[in-house]
A and B are shown apart, each in its own frame.
Chain A
Amino acid sequence: MTPLLEVEDLWVRFPTRTGLFDAVRGVSFKLGRERLGIVGESGSGKSMTGRSILRLIRPPGQVTAAHIRLDGEDLMQHSEAQMRKVRGQRISMVMQDPKFSLNPVMSVGEQLIEAWRVHKKGSRAEARRRALDMLEAVSIRDPERVMRAHPHELSGGMGQRIMIAMMLIPDPELLIADEPTSALDVSVQAQVLQIMDRLVQDRGMGLIFISHDLNLVADFCDRVLIMYAGRVVETCAADKLHEAKHPYTRGLLNSLPRLDAPQKRLEVLRRDPAWAQAPSVRPS
């Protein structure tokens, strides 16, 4: 069986005054119908990896890869017009902050209806019915009222659920979620994750979950890639993350304060320049 997504030797580069800067350096991985977590600090290249799959890196940024295959089709060979059919239809993306992703001057209902009609053929009435279904699917209690509301009238958690609803309308095969819950409270976070989890399972979607939160990824995903300075330094099963071996992963885990284990001082990560130099690890 071909994997849903195959990424081989992905590089993202940006020209700077002092030469080319490599934001992502030779990343390769495969994804089936599973939840793959990508974790790392800011600047580690995790978001750039997610964006380059959708070919969303604009010039002067440069993306090269041996291939990025979705169901065997190489996205690197696609024209911009072909890519537009992939974006949203087959691969959807949920961004970090719903405040910046929803249109502030359009009601939620209009935005959902528009999203549906861009991707499917059908009447406005049908689009409206489907929009209401989607809001219910993401556990919004009063969908009729929310349809009429504008984004500023909604909480962050609701906004993010609406984003997820919108992304799921065209029934994509792969969902890329870039820090989908970082702007949310812990209590709302769990709710949003549960919804994503259920949708991934019910629809057999693949999920790439980009996050800086190690514990969250360990609990939520099946597999994890740990990125540092544009490279994958370690990969493991998510439930084995706490047994990770790489000193960077260990350092990150140990620098977290813990509710169940009081410490006098927190451990500070000591960076080794060799981590950035070593080649990317290939997940098995």
Chain B
Amino acid sequence: MSALFFDDVSVWFGEGRDRVDAVRHASFRVGHGESFGLVGESGSGKSTIMRALTGLAPDWSGRMAVNGNPVPRGRHRNRLFYKSVQMVFQDPYASLHPRQSVDQVLSETLHLHGFRDIEPRIVRLLDDVGLGPAFRFRYPHQLSGGQRQRVAIARALAPEPSILLLDEPTSALDVSVQAEILNLLTDLRAEHKLTFLMVSHDLAVVAHMCERIAVMQAGEIVEVMGVDEMRALTPAHSYTRKLLQASLGYTRG
């Protein structure tokens, strides 16, 4: 049984003439404790797969399962789903409520998931993500981008999920802050035995974080490769080679 299972998943937006097939026949599985990356250009459908899983893109066909439990159609997911799957979004400036303090954000999440020992849990969550207790009563505008992303990660960890979906978690951050957040995610994964599904356009970041990587082009998965294959620049598909070449840097032509 895999942590995440996708079989022949297609996702589309709109209807009739305006229909856009964002993902076409995607199949892959992610084992327990594995870190799996999705890469591709913008519009290749990598984020859409995550959004379909979490109910943010309700029009899809095929089969998806989380820890062996099939994912239902539509926007709604049961409590069990949200307890096992949580998501960290790209933009920490947009994903936190501007008028809620860190304390409110975390206690609401904990409350919704039925925890009663909220107080000690908030302290532990803040400690887990490397923010001291001093940050507890701050508002988002009093935090830097990196600190906000730590709060977003703390919120995602609150229901004690086994799977984290990471949608470009560091692309809005400076490289020095990116290094801190990636280290934090690596530590958290080891500590909490998490499974990661990560979307990024930065191949070096994905190579650093993931063991297996799926390359997407125009809604289709063209190749799934191991990280060693990617580092050795020996992918099978020509599109992957092109993508790797482009990310190695600018060459004067």
Binding site for B on A (CB under 8 A): 41-42, 155-156, 185-190, 193-194, 197, 212, 214-216, 219-220, 251-252, 255-260, 262-263, 265-269
Contacts and interface: CB of A to CB of B under 8 A. Distances in A.
Contacts of B231: 259-260, 262
Interface stretch (B13-21, B81-89, B134-142, B175-183): B175-183
Contacts of A267: 179
Contacts of B244: 259
Contact of B176 (A216, A255, A263, A265): A255
B79 interface: no
A41 B176 CA distance: 8
Nearest to B249: A219
Given A186-B203, A257-B179, A268-B180, 4 more contacts: A42-B174, A189-B246, A194-B252, A256-B204
A268 B179 contact: yes
A262 B175 contact: no
Interface string B229-253: 0110000000000111011111111
Contacts of B119: none
Contact of A186 (B174, B175, B243, B253): B243
21 contacts: A41-B175, A42-B145, A186-B41, A186-B243, A186-B246, A188-B41, A194-B252, A212-B174, A212-B175, A214-B175, A219-B249, A219-B250, A220-B250, A255-B178, A255-B179, A256-B175, A256-B204, A257-B182, A259-B247, A260-B231, A266-B183
Contacts of A197: 252
Contacts of B182: 257, 266
A256 B249 CA distance: 13
B201 interface: yes
A185 B253 contact: no
The 8 A-B pairs with the shortest beta carbon distances in the complex, nearest first, are A257-B208, A255-B179, A266-B179, A269-B176, A219-B250, A41-B174, A185-B41, A186-B246
B175 A194 contact: no
A82 B231 CA distance: 54
Contacts of A189: 246, 250
A252 B201 contact: no
Contacts of B227: 262
Contact of A259 (B41, B43, B176, B248): B248
Contacts of B42: 156, 185
A259 B230 contact: yes
A219 B251 contact: yes
B192 to A, nearest CB: 17
A252 B246 contact: no
A258 B41 CA distance: 19
A193 B42 CA distance: 18
B183 A263 contact: no
